[in-house]
């Protein structure tokens, strides 16, 4: 009985950056999928990836095949922590040009007179000269960056978990267009009755948990 056929995985630099961020989310299916795709992108066979990740060869084949077949989209989202409402836009690429287009959407969506403090992941696309110069021409925008590999500290990540658990894992799509339509239909429904998120722990408790997690993975031998 022939084994699963390997597929060629060639994510762009921007997609690699997004996948690397997702891979940092501990013990989630999305983190596992992201690691598998990145391992395959390095040229490793399905068998090598399965051994390294600790899954069956069939699991690797399904996940990488889905990645190639369905394609990817980059969802930009801005969460208002006071109301829970979201401003969003999808792009097929994740460059500084798309980031600037999203900033313009935020600028047009939020009434004038409000200062806007944006908490951002520490992606290279957010730190290009063009991205740095744009807020200088729009002084109501103030950009703040989470530390590298610490995007989980951004509250919008909690909202992305809601999108993943309530929508993305519960349905299948045959194309990127269907994926984007599905996502934005769900977001439209969310915004009809948004709910703000509240941290369940204090900052000190969160940092203590993170320190314990880092100690465990550093001592694991991997």
Tens of pLDDT, residue by residue over 52-63, are 777 777 667 666
Q: What is the predicted pLDDT for the residue at 192?
A: 95
Query: What pLDDT band is residue 3 in, cutting at 50, 70 and 90?
Result: very low
Residue among 110, 116, 105, 108 at smallest CA distance from 143: 116
H or E element: which one contains 143?
strand 141-145
CA distance linking residue 177 with residue 70, whole number of Å: 9
Q: Could you tell me if 163 and 186 are in contact, meaning their C-beta atoms sit under 8 angstroms apart?
A: yes
Q: Where are the alpha helices (DSSP H) in the chain?
A: 13-23, 29-41, 46-53, 57-70, 96-109, 129-137, 156-166, 176-192, 203-218
Q: List, for residues 148-182, the tens digit of each pLDDT value.
A: 666 667 788 888 888 887 877 766 666 777 778 88
Residue among 25, 43, 35, 23 at smallest CA distance from 59: 35
CB atoms within 10 A of CB 90: 18
CB atoms within 10 A of CB 196: 12
Quickly name the fold that domain 74-192 has: Nucleotidyltransferase; domain 5 (3.30.420)
Mean pLDDT of all residues belonging to the chain = 78
Q: List, for residues 20-68, the tens digit of each pLDDT value.
A: 777 776 666 777 777 777 777 776 777 787 777 777 776 676 666 555 5
CA distance linking residue 42 with residue 49, whole number of Å: 10
Q: List, for residues 190-214, the tens digit of each pLDDT value.
A: 999 998 888 777 878 877 877 887 7
pLDDT surpasses 80 at 141: yes
Q: Could you tell me if 109 and 87 are in contact, meaning their C-beta atoms sit under 8 angstroms apart?
A: yes
Outline which parts of the chain fall under CATH 3.30.420.10. Answer: 74-192
Q: List, for residues 67-121, the tens digit of each pLDDT value.
A: 554 556 788 999 999 999 999 998 877 788 999 999 999 999 999 989 999 988 8
């Amino acid at each position: 009985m022939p084994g699963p056929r390997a597929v060629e995985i060639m994510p762009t630099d921007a997609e690699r950056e997004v996948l690397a961020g997702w891979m940092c989310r501990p013990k989630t299916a999305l983190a596992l999928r992201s690691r598998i795709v990145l391992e395959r992108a390095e040229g490793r066979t399905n068998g090598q990836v399965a051994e390294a990740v600790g899954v069956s060869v069939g699991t690797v084949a399904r996940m990488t095949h889905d990645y190639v077949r369905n394609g990817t989209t980059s969802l930009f989202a801005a969460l208002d922590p006071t109301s829970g409402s979201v401003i969003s836009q999808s792009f097929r690429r994740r460059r500084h040009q798309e980031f600037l287009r999203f900033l313009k959407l935020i600028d047009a969506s939020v009434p004038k007179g409000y200062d806007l403090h944006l908490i951002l992941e520490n992606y290279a696309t957010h730190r290009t000269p063009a991205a740095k110069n744009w807020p200088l021409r729009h002084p109501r925008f103030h950009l703040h960056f989470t530390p590298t590999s610490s995007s989980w500290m951004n509250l919008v990540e909690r909202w992305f978990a809601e999108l993943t658990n309530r929508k993305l894992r519960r349905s299948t799509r045959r194309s990127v267009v269907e994926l984007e339509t599905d996502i934005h239909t769900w977001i439209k429904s969310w915004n009809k009755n948004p709910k703000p998120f509240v941290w369940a722990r204090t900052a000190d408790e969160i940092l203590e948990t993170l320190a314990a997690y880092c100690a465990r993975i550093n001592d694991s031998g991997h």
